[in-house]
Amino acid sequence: MTEQNPDLERILIPTDVIQKRVQEMAAQINKDFANIDRLYMIGILKGAFIFMADLTRHLTIPHVVDFMALSSYGKTTTIGEVRILMDLREPIDGQHVMIVEDIVDSGITLKYLYKILKDRNPASLHTCVLVRKKRDNGGFPFDYVGFEIPDVWVVGYGLDFADRYRTLPYVAELKREVYNP
């Protein structure tokens, strides 16, 4: 049995449940994109690196992986501006593109990124999110969602608090006193 970190309130999504769901999501993507030349998978750093690695290893359709890094200062403003820290290696015009995110909270990041990438004229643009918080996500439609979770601070499977806990194999709720002492 895994010994639980004392900073964690409870495990929300156990390791085996995540792995099974990621396989299911990949199977659905394999089916939905069976007839395209290749799928351009874009992982959003840092949080999506583990989900992206697991998801893409279950893909049987032709695909390439790429990454973007975005700043998050916009989250605390009403403007919702998100800055690109690291951009894609290739142009995506005419390509079938899938954005891969670990979490959608306010929805600001994904909404902004979707607009930026849409303006680059991909053949199609879809979104794949491991967890979505049950709150107002800005009315943005997601194509593939792994889990819906309560509106609490979660860590693990790529998700962090101050860059810690990312490599836990499960998703857990962080104790309130850890992030709000």
Burial of 142 (0-12, 13-18, 19+ CB in 10 A): middle
Q: Under a CB-based contact definition with an 8 Å cutoff, are residues 96 and 38 in contact?
A: yes
Least CB distance to ligand PRP at residue 62 (A):
26
User: Minimum Å distance from CB 30 to ligand PRP?
Assistant: 24
Closest to ligand PRP by CB, 21 or 46: 46
Distance CA 32, CA 56 (A): 15
The single residue of 102, 105, 119, 151 carrying the catalytic annotation is 105
- Minimum CB distance to ligand PRP smaller for 35 or for 77: 77
If the CB atoms of residues 61 and 142 are measured against ligand PRP, the closer one turns out to be 142
Q: Which among 53, 34, 64 is positioned nearest to 130, based on CA atoms?
A: 53
Amino acid identity for residue 152 in this structure: V
**E runs forming strands in 53-158:** 63-70, 84-86, 96-104, 124-133, 144-149, 154-155
Taking the least distance from each CB to ligand PRP, the nearer of 36 and 142 is: 142
Kindly state the smallest distance separating residue 135's Cβ from ligand PRP, in Å.
10
Distance of alpha carbon 143 from alpha carbon 5, whole angstroms: 33
Smallest distance from ligand PRP to CB 14, Å: 21
Known catalytic membership, residue 105? yes
Take residue 87 and report the two structure tokens written for it: 């951009």
CB of 97 closer than 8 Å to CB of 118: no
Q: Please give the residue ranges that form the binding site for ligand PRP (CB under 6 A).
A: 44-47, 72, 75, 101-109, 160
- Catalogue the active-site residues: 105
